[in-house]
């Protein structure tokens, strides 16, 4: 009864964020695009992929697949909003070179294939292959602990532990 009258705060939840791609870790501040490097979209990290596969970094639900297939939004089971943006200035490719394997509403687990892309085409036609992963709703986050890495493996390497507010 008191919960209904006064509301209740749930306990904070931790989310382990896995690498969305195999490749090289890039600090968000080193991403050659101020939208990401100045954290206008949120906190996070980036990976420079060495292969053309993007996997889910969390367990959750697909909330957005951009029509141009260059980005995917996921809401983790703990309530964290995660955006994976494949390459820089890739929206201009209008989906060319990208194949999506998920749709809005799909449930995903860490390591599930989200998008495949032609590495050579994206490297040639986009500004950069660097793929930012950002937590777009800063007010959801209580704490972020980054796990410093150099070389990362898609769906396996722990990148960060994010504590989501209760």
Residue of 70, 85, 101, 147 with catalytic role: 85
Residue 85 annotated in active site = yes
DSSP3 helix / strand / coil % (the chain, rounded to 5): 15, 40, 45
Please enumerate, as own/partner, the contacts of 103-106 that have beta carbons within 8 Å and a separation of 24 or more: 103/62, 103/65, 104/62, 104/63, 104/64, 104/65, 105/61, 105/62, 106/61, 106/62
What does the DSSP 8-state code read for residue 91?
G
Catalytic residue numbers read: 85
């Amino acid at each position: 009864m008191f919960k209904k009258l006064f509301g209740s705060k749930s306990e904070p939840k931790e989310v382990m964020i896995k690498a969305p791609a195999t490749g090289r870790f890039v600090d968000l501040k080193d991403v050659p695009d101020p939208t990401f490097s100045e954290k206008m979209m949120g906190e996070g990290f980036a990976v420079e992929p060495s292969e053309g596969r993007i996997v889910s970094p969390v367990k959750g639900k697909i909330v957005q697949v951009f029509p141009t297939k260059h980005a995917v939004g996921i809401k983790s089971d703990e309530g964290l909003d995660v955006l994976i943006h494949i390459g820089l200035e890739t929206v201009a490719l209008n989906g060319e070179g990208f194949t999506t394997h998920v749709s809005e509403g799909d449930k995903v687990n860490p390591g599930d294939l989200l998008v495949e892309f032609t590495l050579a085409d994206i490297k040639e036609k986009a500004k950069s292959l660097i793929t930012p992963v950002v937590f777009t709703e800063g007010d959801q986050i209580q704490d972020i602990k980054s796990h410093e890495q150099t070389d990362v493996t898609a769906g396996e390497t722990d990148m960060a532990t994010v504590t989501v507010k209760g």
